[in-house]
Copies of this chain bind each other. A is one copy, B any other.
Amino acid sequence: MSRWEPDARRRLERASLELFVERGYDNTTVAEIAERAGLTKRTFFRHFADKREVLFGGQEILRRLFTDAIAGAPSSATPLETIAAALAAVAPIFDRERLELALRRQAIIAAHTDLKERELLKAATLTATMADGFRSRGLSDLAAGVAAELGQLAFRTAFSRWVSADGREFSDVATETLADLKTAAELATAQP
């Protein structure tokens, strides 16, 4: 990231989402995005491989935060405690400005089947990464798979509640979601 454009990435993201909403995703060019952001195409390509990556580049950041949090949780932490640590690690991303961008991003993705499929691929990659993390913590393949699905579900639920939560902090929504998930997991795995 260039020192003289400290906010370039977010400016490009904001400009992209504005244009995708105004003109449609398919009709927006990288040149138009750079112009709207007051930057050059070259700067755009320093931050994103293409316009689709504006929508999905954040997932790589999420993936790294999740990975580090799962690896860094105390060895005594249960899978659900480890998931709580992972949600705490990503919480700072989800600030007020991110909320607005997230809403636009969702609307654009929902309108394009190929973007929805890409979103699912990224989500599957995130789940697989979490499963790797849980395996490294000593869980069996299948237990790591269950823990990763619970982690993905916790994140997805917390995120969607936060998006429609009218300004509540992500970390509060996440804590509440985890408590609900614990109850839900007990119901879903109930004994006869």
Contact = CB atoms under 8 A, between A and B. Distances in A.
Interface of A: 76, 78-81, 113-114, 116-118, 120-121, 124, 134, 139-140, 142-147, 149-150, 152-153, 157, 180-192
10 contacts: A80-B188, A120-B121, A140-B184, A142-B157, A142-B180, A146-B150, A146-B187, A150-B189, A185-B189, A186-B189
List the 6 shortest-distance A-B pairs measured between CB atoms, nearest first: A117-B117, A142-B184, A146-B188, A143-B184, A143-B187, A147-B188
Nearest to A148: B188
A23 to B, nearest CB: 25
Given A120-B121, A120-B124, A146-B153, 8 more contacts: A76-B192, A79-B188, A80-B189, A113-B121, A117-B117, A145-B157, A149-B149, A149-B153
A184 B120 CA distance: 24
Interface of A: prevailing SS: helix
Contact of A121 (B78, B116, B149, B150): B116
Contacts of A118: 117
Nearest to A177: B142
Nearest to A150: B188
A75 to B, nearest CB: 13
A189 B189 contact: yes
Contacts of A140: 184, 187
Contacts of A190: 78-80
